[in-house]
Amino acid sequence: MTIEISESNTQQDTERNSSLVVDAIGEGIIKDYERLITEFGLKPLHPLIEKLPSEKRHRFMTRRIMFGHIDFEPVLEKILKNEPFYIMTGIKPSGEYHIGSFTTCLEVIYYQQLNGKVFFCIADFESYAVNGISFSKAREFAIDNLADIIALGLDPSPEKTYIYRQSTEPIVLQYGMIFSNHLTLNTLFATYGQKDHLGDYNAAMIQAADILLPQIKEGPKPTVVPVGADQAPHARITRDLSRKKRFQDALKLKLPSFTFHLLLQGLDGSEKMSKRNPMSYFSMNEAEKEIITKIRNAFTGGRVTREEQRRLGGRPEICRVFNLFKLLMEPSDKALKDREQRCRSGELLCGPCKKDLIEATLQFRKEHLEKKAQALEIAEKIMKETEKKEPKV
């Protein structure tokens, strides 16, 4: 039996504990990972990873990018037995798909390759509610985003992936409304803070329906939702809803599992890549010159002078350049460890390290854009299949 520290079966405890989530997560920025683990029901992922054969471990696991989980054991059991399970994920089509979003996508692809079926949500209601993006504009973004994700390796075939839009998927609209009748406003305020529009809370209810869609649509089965650490409130809300007797009696739901990864910090030294801050991230669509400029100006763990860095060594733990190698641009664990050691010893300076990253990134971009060009037609076809009758706003 899995025991979780702060998940609760009572409305009162949910409201009290969720308010702590708001304290620990602000503006999508994690203020205290340790507190997130000890107080909010997350458990360290590494002990479970040890049960996986080495060939089934993703580099995000071995590099501790994926650091925590809620109730991952049922999904792990399916993986070990090579039995099917569900994967729930999605995109908010509010702009270009930038490298800060690659982490989740690569985890989804990993789970898919381990016999999981992907349920992929195009969250156009959320982009309308939170970002004011029209549904027609969201469609354009979604095609471009999907092409990026297919280029990264997602298998979009119907037997492997179910792709839908929130605005045209009856189940999530129906259950988003149903779920809204089973949570108090106090719970929503405590979990998400005070919002200006009811649409923000409606989007949260629809997102809960998204997470439970695989089981509602195709029957109970372990479901994993790979997310950034800032999504802990959604995990709590959805698990609290799915354990309610009314939904257990009607749907026999298995509580969804979640794996959590570290958020990729902004290139400019900010705590999170954000579309509001263009110097904090880049996308594969950007011109080479722009990407080079952003990497050259990236925040590092270097010292004030060359001599000081030779003497004291660099600090890769705070370096945004090293972060990119760790996440995406260095597939070899051995090479990554060597780069870290040379940085800490002072042998490797920031200038040459940035040069290495620029070269790796531009090569990655070149290969990615070639694959993306081939994927655009597939993405357009998928979007046409999701179109029924979208809102005209």
What is the phi/psi pair of residue 32, to 5°?
-155, 95
Kindly tell me if the per-residue pLDDT of 13 is higher than 60: no
Q: What is the structure's pLDDT at 151?
A: 98
Q: Summarize the confidence of residues 335-351 as an average pLDDT.
A: 97
The three-state DSSP-derived secondary structure of the chain is: CCCCCCCCCCHHHHHHHHHHHHHHEECCEECCHHHHHHHCCCEECHHHHCCCCHHHCCHHHHCCCEEEEECCHHHHHHHHCCCCEEEEEEECCCCCCEHHHHHHHHHHHHHHHCCEEEEEEECHHHHHHHHCCCHHHHHHHHHHHHHHHHHHCCCCCCCCEEEEEHHHCHHHHHHHHHHHCCCCHHHHHHHHCCCCCHHHHHHHHHHHHHHHHHHHHHCCCCEEEEEEHHHHHHHHHHHHHHCCHHHHHHHCCCCCEEEEECCCCCCCCCCCCCCCCHHHCCECCCCHHHHHHHHHCCCCCCCCCHHHHHHHCCCHHHCHHHHHHHHHHCCCHHHHHHHHHHHHHCCCCHHHHHHHHHHHHHHHHHHHHHHHHHHHHHHHHHHHHHCCCCCCC
The burial class, CB within 10 Å (0-12 / 13-18 / 19+), for 377 is: exposed
pLDDT of residue 187: 87
**Pick the residue with more confidence: 333 or 26?**
333
Higher pLDDT, 40 or 182: 182
Residue 18 has pLDDT above 80, yes or no: no
Band (pLDDT 50/70/90 cuts) for residue 63 is very high
CATH superfamily of 11-267: HUPs (3.40.50.620)
Domain 278-373 architecture:
Orthogonal Bundle (1.10)
Is residue 232 within 8 Å of residue 42, measured between CB atoms? yes
pLDDT at 330: 97
Average pLDDT of span 286-305: 96
**Ranges in the chain annotated CATH 3.40.50.620:** 11-267
pLDDT of residue 261: 95
Confidence bin at 197 (pLDDT 50/70/90): confident
pLDDT for res 9: 35
Buried b (16+ CB within 10 A) or exposed e, 36-70: bbebbbbbebeebbeeeeeeeebbbbebebbbbbb
- Residues 6+ away with beta carbon under 8 Å from 180: 201, 202, 205
Q: Higher confidence at residue 218 or residue 185? A: 218
Q: What pLDDT shows up at residue 232?
A: 84
Rounded Cα distance between 189 and 49, Å, is 35
Per-residue model confidence as pLDDT tens digits over 224-268:
999 998 888 889 899 999 999 999 999 999 999 999 999 889 999
Rounded to 10 degrees, what is the CA torsion of 371, 163, 85, 159? Answer: -70
- The whole-number pLDDT of residue 263 equals 86
Mean pLDDT of the chain: 89
Q: What is the structure's pLDDT at 229?
A: 84
Quickly tell me which residue has 């340790």 as its tokens.
34
Q: What is the mean pLDDT of residues 154-178?
A: 96
- Which pLDDT belongs to residue 191? 83
> Which residues, other chains included, contact 338 with Cβ-Cβ below 8 Å and sequence gap of 6+?
none
By the 10 Å C-beta count (0-12 exposed, 13-18 middle, 19+ buried), 6 is classed as middle
- Distance in angstroms (rounded) separating the CA atoms of residues 75 and 52: 12
Its pTM stands at: 0.88
What backbone phi and psi angles, to 5 degrees, belong to 74?
-60, -35
Distant-in-sequence, close-in-space partners of 11: CB < 8 Å, separation ≥ 6: 184, 187
Confidence (pLDDT) at 282: 96
